[in-house]
Amino acid sequence: MAAQVISGKEIAAQIRAELKSEVEKLAARGIQPGLAVILVGDDPASHSYVKGKEKAAVELNFHSEVHRLPESVSEQDVLALIGKLNEDPKIHGILVQLPLPRHISEKAVIQAIDPEKDVDGFHPQNVGNMYIGLPAFLPCTPHGVIQMLKRSGVEIAGKHAVVIGRSNIVGKPMAQLLLSENATVTICHSRTPDLAAMTKQADILVAAVGRAGTVRADMVKPGAVVIDVGVNRVDGKLVGDCLFDELSEVAGMITPVPGGVGPMTITMLMYNTVESAKRH
């Protein structure tokens, strides 16, 4: 039997409808959520992501600013702009689009953002709070995955979740959020000796490797929930880390690429910005 497809587009639309109502309540109090995005250089993928964020912010009636800076901009100038946005009462969320050019320290830039405006959830203070269970802005992609699971009726507590990937942006926080929902969590990565032996045990499998075709049908337990976070371009087409057609015959539920996790990432960024506006 073919797997049930979890539509990120549909779940994202539900959440955005809820956010619209929150934005209206804030407007009645004279507050308009404000999101500032900093984009450095000419990376086409980054420009495409930023356009999506800008569009979502405008649709939700946010105050939206995009600061497009040349590749040659100095680290000092980027940090000065962040400092200015930290002080700006119109701005509730600051996002610096990654990756940055080599001469700009990603670490310095992330740490310069006021943790109260860090709607990407990358500042060490938010990361630390997430790990010890204190209120924090959660990283958008892992938080989006948790929302997809919950809103699709997937029981997380007591399940064995396997995460492939250990990046600071997806893999590690994904494992922590699943743990916070009382799953038993295994993290796999490039040094895991027998990946298939691990993935076959998963009730919930999250693939976040960034390599097309990593997960095949013979690596998945029948009936498992498969969340594909990967975004790879193969022969001009966007594909995930999982072989979707193969896995659809084995998994119980699966996310597509595109139209799965992607729309959730931007939506959770909007969610964090609204939360920040409420706090301010």
For 183-197, how does the pLDDT look when each residue is reduced to its tens digit (9 = 90+)?
A: 999 999 999 999 999
Which of the following is catalytic: 118, 120, 203, 241? 120
pLDDT at 280 exceeding the cut of 90: no
Q: How large is the average pLDDT for residues 116-121?
A: 98
Catalytic residue, chosen from 9, 55, 88, 97, is 97
- Note if 53 is an active site residue: yes
Both 220 and 148 in a single domain?
A: yes
Is the whole model's pTM more than 0.85, yes or no? yes
Q: Residue 67 — very low, low, confident or very high, per pLDDT cuts 50/70/90? A: very high
Q: Which of 189, 184, 176, 190 is nearest to 204 (CA)?
A: 184
Task: Please report the DSSP string for 126-183 in residue order.
Answer: HHHHHHHT-S-PPPHHHHHHHHHHHHTT---TT-EEEEE---TTTHHHHHHHHHHTT-
In a domain, 79, yes or no: yes
Q: Is the pLDDT of residue 212 over 80?
A: yes
- If you average pLDDT over every residue of the chain, what do you get? 97
The question of whether 237 is a catalytic residue gets the answer: no
Round to whole Å and give the CA distance between 156 and 149: 8
Report if residue 182 sits inside a domain: yes
Q: Is residue 165 scored above 80 in pLDDT? A: yes
User: What's the CA dihedral at 152, 154, 160, 165 to 10 degrees?
Assistant: 10
Q: Which domain holds residue 42?
A: 31-114
d(CA 228, CA 225): 10
> How far is residue 19 from each of residues 36, 42, 64, 148, measured CA to CA in Å?
18, 31, 16, 16
Residue 149 amino acid letter: L
Q: Residue 45 has what pLDDT?
A: 86
Verify that 178 and 84 share a domain, yes or no.
no
218 is known as an active-site residue:
no
Residue 151 sits in the same domain as residue 249: yes
Count of domains in the chain?
A: 2
Looking at the fold, whether 69 and 110 belong to one and the same domain comes out as yes
Q: What is the pLDDT of residue 1?
A: 64
For the stretch 252-279, pLDDT in tens is 999 999 999 999 999 999 999 999 999 9
